[in-house]
A and B are shown apart, each in its own frame.
Chain A
């Protein structure tokens, strides 16, 4: 079970959260001008990172707030938790073990 730190409630079990996929996927600036390929790119296509990854979580069973986290997709370590609108933390340097 992952331990996740909600920026409002503190450390809780993963059970209380729901996953929201990749973070910082910006809504298209001019949606009306997008063709089908660009739309599907925006809606369905996400990075498949091996390593540190910025992603979204929501504290479903708690304060129901969305927030961002930096998680390592291989080791499941968390490097940072931050609120939407907060300064985006730097990605940790990948340590080769």
Chain B
């Protein structure tokens, strides 16, 4: 474990510290929540119940999230979910009709919080994320500053964005730039 901890690097690299330092205001704050355990759960048509039994809880429908004991589950599409758990959570075994794959290295989560978080996101996202249309617990996949992301509203003034590792530094630089007027 010791050497592992020395070797692993989060996608943002040194930019993570700058993001956290620059975006730390009361109206807008942003930081990377690195090294989370992400898994993708896919099931065949009609195997939704089987998937729910493997997870041990009802899975959220498309566009909604569910909190299962520290794990956030996102309903992304028909028969398609992503889970976001603390590091070193064991990956559940799949079955013939349900696939569960560790995709931790694919994306990195960014937490955006504050009363101006919605404005910052809206600078680069055409989706209407007003609470009337995107309530707490809602999730979707969309484009943020042209980068493909998963976006979830975790609280009234808190959003979580999962961005692909190769786009992470670009998006962090964009967030630093876009939040200039809210700091």
A interface residues, Cβ below 8 angstroms from B: 8-9, 12-13, 15-16, 61-65
Residues from chain A with a CB closer than 8 A to the CB of B76 are 63
* Cα separation A64 to B80 with both chains bound (whole Å): 10
B interface residues, Cβ below 8 angstroms from A: 62-63, 76-78, 80, 126-127, 140-143, 146, 148
A61-B148, A63-B62 given; A12·B77 CB < 8 A: no
Q: Find out whether the CB atom of A16 lies under 8 angstroms from the CB atom of B77.
A: no
A8-B62, A9-B62 given; A65·B142 CB < 8 A: no
Number of inter-chain CB pairs below 8 Å? 34
A8-B62, A9-B63 given; A61·B78 CB < 8 A: no
Q: Find out whether the CB atom of B143 lies under 8 angstroms from the CB atom of A16.
A: yes
* Cα separation A24 to B10 with both chains bound (whole Å): 45
Q: Determine chain A's interface SS by DSSP, over half rule.
A: loop
* Cα separation A63 to B62 with both chains bound (whole Å): 9
A9-B62, A13-B126 given; A64·B142 CB < 8 A: no
Residues from chain A with a CB closer than 8 A to the CB of B143 are 13, 15-16, 61
CB distance from B145 to the nearest CB of A (A): 12
